[in-house]
Amino acid sequence: MTTAVENRTATAVPTASLPREVTNLQRLRQVLLAMVIGLRQMLVGYWLVMVVAFLAGGIVIQVVTGTVEHSVWDYGTQSPKYFSMAIGITITPAYFALLVAQGVTRRMMSVAASIYLIGAAAATALLWVVVYQIEHLLYSWQDWPQTFTNTHLFTSTSQVGLIFAEFFLLILSHEVAGWLLGITFARFGFWRGVLLLPVSLLPAAATEFLLVAQWLAAALTGAGYHRPPLAVGVPSVLVVSALGLYVGYLLLRPMALKPAKG
């Protein structure tokens, strides 16, 4: 009789190897925490390099050379997109085998990765907003012109909402493209990963055409292409990014663990 009860209990609990008090929400928090801690040095290190070395160093160089004519921070507007793509690429090879081997489902990993990427995009966009404001105060104090070298959705640092929206959307879409790149190369290998590049890069490419901001703006405008209204572009970018995250999950779901080498 005792054996029968134990068998029914084991059948009813698919994750019997875990303590019974561990819920899916708690496990999701642990997975997300692992990503935050594991990628913290990479992300925070990048922020520090940009603020300390790029901004401070750039201002010092302009002051020494007597050429303070542009926003130093605006020269770095391309950087967060491509760095964030590297963050997206890193997640799958760094965490897939480790987490799945510990009993974390592919779906839960996808959810945790999505939350992490959205949070990292929001934090990096917020950093850009804050530093633009700090630079504005410094330039106003010294009576320096804070002109922008790139085309943006905003024309002034007072347009905080547009600054955040531009960087958040561009960063998120490039993170999603990186997420797809990491999955396709890990699952299908190098050559098929290369063949799938157009699909993987689609979220980033679509966002560039929907927002027409930063360094590609001049080329697109010169070719006669004009940005759609923001009321169309912003929701479209969010939809494309969400679809990219979901496609990443679909690609990850049947992905098998590779045997250890050696």
Q: What is the pLDDT of residues 29-59, one digit of tens each?
A: 999 999 999 999 999 999 999 998 888 888 8
Which three-class secondary structure state does DSSP give residue 17? Answer: coil
What is the predicted pLDDT for the residue at 18? Answer: 41
What is the predicted pLDDT for the residue at 3? Answer: 43
Read off the DSSP letter of residue 52: I
What is the predicted pLDDT for the residue at 5? Answer: 39
Q: Which residue bears the tokens 């959205």?
A: 118
- pTM equals 0.87
What is the predicted pLDDT for the residue at 259? Answer: 65
pLDDT < 50 positions in the chain: 1-21
What is the predicted pLDDT for the residue at 1? Answer: 41
The alpha carbons of the chain give a radius of gyration, in whole angstroms, of: 22
Helix boundaries (H) for the chain: 2-12, 24-38, 40-48, 57-65, 79-101, 106-142, 160-188, 190-195, 197-200, 202-211, 215-222, 230-252
